[in-house]
Structure 1
C-alpha cells in the first residue's frame, strides 16, 4: 500500500529505471542468464527485487524528457550488460580450461547437453563449469550481485550511467587475460597429458608392436582423471579468487 501511495508521476519514472537496471542485471549476469532460470522467473524476480529496493534509491525531482528517458533506460540495461562482462570473463576462463582439458583427453566427441548454455559441450568441461556455478553460489555470489546493485545507487544514480574509458580499458585487459587464466588453471593437467603423449611416443619408437589405441588412450584418460581429482580444488580456489577480484573491480569502476 505504501508503494502504491508513493508512485507519483516522478516516482513511476524512477521505478521503471530501477526495473530496467535489475532487468539488465538478471538478463546478462552469470547463472541468471542460463537455461536453468526460466524467463518468467527472471521477470518475476526483477519486479520483486525492484519493489524491495525502491525505498533505498534517492528520490529527487524527475526532470527527464521522453527522449532522455528512453536513452536513460537503454543505458540502465547497458549497465547490467557491461557489469556482467567482468564476471562472464571469469566463467569464460574456467570454461576455456575445461574445454582444453577435454580436448587433450580426447573427450571432445563425448558431449552431452549442457543445461547452462542449452548446447552440447564436452563432458569434462561441462562438469567443471557446473562445479564452478555451485562454488560461486556457495560463496554467496547472488548476494554480492545485490550488494553491487545497492552500491551503484550511490555512485551511479538512476539514468546517469555513462560508459567510461576506464571501464573499456578494464574489460579489454580482462578479456585478454581470460585465455591466460584459463590456461593456467588447466596447465597441470595439460602438462601431464603432454608428458604421457611423449612417453607413449618413445615407447612406440622402441616397441612398434605397442598398440596405442588399445592401451595408450585408456591409460592417458585414467591419468588425466586422477590428476583432475587432485587438482580440481586448486582450480576452484583460483576461480573464487578471480571472482572476488572481478567484484572488487566492479566496485571501483561503477
Structure 2
C-alpha cells in the first residue's frame, strides 16, 4: 500500500478553507451584541465560531491558493476580518439605537441621574436604556433574529467569496453614515415622549411666570417624572412595530453591503 502524499498546495487549501472563514465568522461573533459582550466568555464565542466554521467550510468551495506567509495571505485575512466586523457593526447599531433613545427620554424626564452599570458593555447607562436594551435583546432572540444574522454571514461566502477583494470603498462610507441613521432613528423613537415631557415643562414655566410667588418647580419635577413614565407606558404599544421596522432595515442594509461589493 503506497503512502498518501500531501503536497504543499493541498495542505494550504485545507488550511485556507477553514482558517479564512474562521476569521470572518470569528470577527462577526466578537462584534454582534448578543454574543460579543462581556457576559459571554471569549472561549464560548471562539467555540461557536469554530463550530460554525466546520459546518460552513464544506459549502464554501475552493479558496485562493497562496503562500501562508505571503502578502496576499495577509490581505485576504484582513479582508475577512473587515467583512465580519462590518456586518457585526451594522447589527450593533440596531441595539445601540434603543439605548440612545432611552437615554434621550431619561434625560428629558429627569431620570438621567438613575444610572446603572450595563454588564454587556461595562459602562453606566440610564435605567431606562438598560430596560430598552434587555427588551430588544429578548425580542430579537424570540423572533429568531440571531438565526437571520447567522444566515447572512453564511450567505456572505457566496455573495462575497474569499479573496483579496473585500467590501467596496463606498460600503465603508455607508457604515460610517450608519451612525447618523442610528441617532436619527433614536430621535424618532424618543420624540413622542420627549415632546410630551417638554410640553409639561413649558406649562410649568408659564405658570411660574404667571405666579412667581408660588414654587411651581418643586412640584414640576415629580409631576414631569410621573408624566414621563405614563408616556413611556403609552409608547410601549408601538415598541414592537418600531423594532420590526428597524430590524428589517438593518438586515436589508447588511445584505446590501455584500451585494455592493466589487
TM-score (norm 2): 0.87
Is the CA contact 2:207–2:216 (under 8 Å) kept in the aligned structure 1?
Answer: no
Task: Give, in whole Å, the separation in 1 of the partners of 2:38 and 2:66.
Answer: 39
Task: Give, in whole Å, the separation in 1 of the partners of 2:36 and 2:239.
Answer: 23
SS of residue paired to 1:121: strand
Selected match of 1:122 from 113, 126, 132:
126
**Structure 1 residues not aligned, in runs of 5+:** 1-6
Taking structure 1 as reference, are residues 210 and 132 closer, same or farther at Cα in structure 2, changes over 3 Å only?
Answer: farther
Selected match of 1:44 from 33, 47, 70:
47
Shift of 1:160: 4.1
Question: Which string of whole-angstrom CA distances, capped at 9 and with x for unpartnered residues, describes residues 141-189 of structure 1?
Answer: 2101111012111111223442313313422433222221111100000
Selected match of 1:170 from 160, 163, 174:
174
Shift of 1:247: 0.9
1:154-233 correspondence to structure 2 within 5 Å: 154-233=158-237
Task: Give, in whole Å, the separation in 2 of the partners of 1:226 and 1:34.
Answer: 32
Is the CA contact 1:104–1:193 (under 8 Å) kept in the aligned structure 2?
Answer: yes
Is the CA contact 1:26–1:42 (under 8 Å) kept in the aligned structure 2?
Answer: yes
1:1-254 correspondence to structure 2 within 5 Å: 8-60=11-63, 62-64=65-67, 66-67=69-70, 68-254=72-258
Aligned length, in residue pairs: 248
**Structure 2 residues not aligned, in runs of 5+:** 1-9
Q: Which residue of 2 aligns with 1:4?
A: none
Task: Give, in whole Å, the separation in 1 of the partners of 2:195 and 2:85.
Answer: 36
Question: Which string of whole-angstrom CA distances, capped at 9 and with x for unpartnered residues, describes residues 106-144 of structure 1?
Answer: 111111111221111111111112211111112212101
TM-score (norm 1): 0.90
Cα RMSD over matched residues? 1.9
Q: Which runs of 4+ in 1 moved over 4 A?
A: none
